[in-house]
Every structure is written in structure tokens, then in C-alpha cells.
Amino acid sequence: MSENLVNLLADLKDKEVLELVQQRLDAGEDPLKILEDSRKGMEIVGQRFATSEYFLPELVFSGDLLKRLTELVKPHLKQEVAPKKLGKVIIGTVAGDIHDIGLNIVDFMLDVNGFEVYNLGVDVPIEAFVNKIKETGATIVGLSGFLTPAFDVMKEAVAAIEAAGMRDKVKIMIGGGQLDDGIRKYTKADAYGKDAMVAVALAKGWIGEK
């Protein structure tokens, strides 16, 4: 069933995907396993976009499908997490980039793990991150990007947060398809999260939760 979900999601078979997810939930399967399979399927979607097998319409459709999938899974996860909010996290895909597959998975996983998430969406101007930190008092910022030009924007965003006098008050993580720790050093972010579970672990670590 795991391989089936990964492949169906990668092939954007929306009806079959949702039916299989519901079957697995009805069978009492761990919702986190379903989410992990969804992540793998979305990775393939991202790869197909990168190689021009898929284009923007397919990418938008896959994001909508993921949202519908997570709506099915979310109630089952809510039962397993504490209702208290651990902390505030601002996330968004930086200006010039419209990829939101990974962003939405991170949003979802942070939310069900007890964080108050402010998802600014895609193509987010640098000043929007700075303004949201001032508005919310959030202590964690996640910058997402898939395309190579996003690296420079992330670096500029970190510099802008520093220029606003807030760099010592926030921890910044970066994530996205082509990122690695070398890019993390280039942007001067605090950490690189290779997937949503790492993002959750980083956020918990920064606020002193295990």
C-alpha cells in the first residue's frame, strides 16, 4: 500500500490517492506513515518538475491534492498531540519562487506537533518576513526555496532580519529541494532541514522541547 500511494501521488491520480488514504486510515494505520509516503510521492513530483516532465499546472494540482490529503489525515494526528502551543514559527517560500509542496508539509507537521504556524505562502518579499517577526514575536523562521536563485534571496532575508536588530532573537532554518548545509553556511541561517520531520526536531530543540 505504501508503494501504491507513493506512485499514485507521483502520477497525480487524485481520486485513487484519496480513496487509498481513507482505506489506510480506516484500517487504523499510523497516520505518520501515510504522511511519510505522501512526502516521498511529492518528492517525485518535484523531480519531474525539475526535469520538465511536469510543468506549473501539474505542480499547482499536486499542491491542491496534498492539501486535500492532509485534510483527511489531520484529524487522526490531532488525537496524538498536546493541545498547547509550543511556540510561534513563521514560514514561507522566498520571493521569486512559487514552490509550496514542501512548505505545506512543514506547515502541517509543525501544526500537529503543537506549534503556532504563520504560513506566508509563496513568492514572499523579504520585508514580509521581517514585518511578521515584529508583529508576532515569533522566535523561529523557516525560509523555503526550490530554485537556485532562492539561495541569494535567503541570504538577503537573513541579512535583513539582522539589519532590523532581530537576528539574536530568532532561529532561522532553510529547506528545499536543492539545498544542503553548504547553502546554509552561504545564507548564514542557523540550520538546514532536509525534510519536515527534521524541521520539527529543529524547532523543538530551539525551544527546549524534546
Residues 124 and 20 in one domain: no
Q: Return the pLDDT at 195.
A: 81
Pairing state of beta strands 88-93 and 191-192?
unpaired
Question: Mean of the pLDDT values across residues 58-80?
Answer: 81
Residues 95 and 199 in one domain: yes
Residue 127's nearest CA partner among 87, 94, 105 is 94
* In the chain, % of residues over pLDDT 70: 96
Most confident region among 3-7, 105-109, 116-120 by mean pLDDT: 116-120
Q: Burial level of 176, CB count in 10 A (0-12/13-18/19+)? A: buried
The answer to whether position 120 is within a domain reads yes
Q: Identify which has the larger pLDDT, 184 or 64.
A: 184
Alpha-carbon distances, residue 81 vs 43, 75, 173 (angstroms): 26, 11, 23
Half-sphere exposure of 88 (CA within 13 A, CB side): 12
Domain termination site, one of 78, 106, 124: 78
Residues 187 and 109 in one domain: yes
**For 27-41, 78-92, 111-125, which range has the lowest pLDDT when averaged over its residues?**
78-92
Question: Mean of the pLDDT values across residues 85-108?
Answer: 88
Residues 131 and 39 in one domain: no
Domain range for 154: 88-206
Flag whether pLDDT at 128 surpasses 90: yes
The answer to whether position 72 is within a domain reads yes
Alpha-carbon distances, residue 133 vs 77, 92, 193 (angstroms): 28, 12, 20
Distance CA(195)–CA(105), nearest Å, equals: 9
Domain tally for the chain?
A: 2
Domain termination site, one of 29, 48, 78: 78
Residues 107 and 199 in one domain: yes
| Whether 118 contacts 138, CB under 8 Å | yes
Residues 181 and 160 in one domain: yes
Q: What length is written for the chain?
A: 210
* Tens of pLDDT, residues 12-62: 999 999 999 999 999 999 888 898 898 788 878 877 887 889 887 887 788
Domain termination site, one of 56, 78, 100: 78
Tell me the three cell numbers of residue 70: 492532509
**What is the domain-level CATH number for residue 170?**
3.40.50.280
Residues 73 and 92 in one domain: no
Average pLDDT score over the chain:
89
Distance CA(13)–CA(131), nearest Å, equals: 39
pTM above 0.85, yes or no: no
Confidence class of residue 164 from pLDDT cuts 50, 70 and 90?
very high
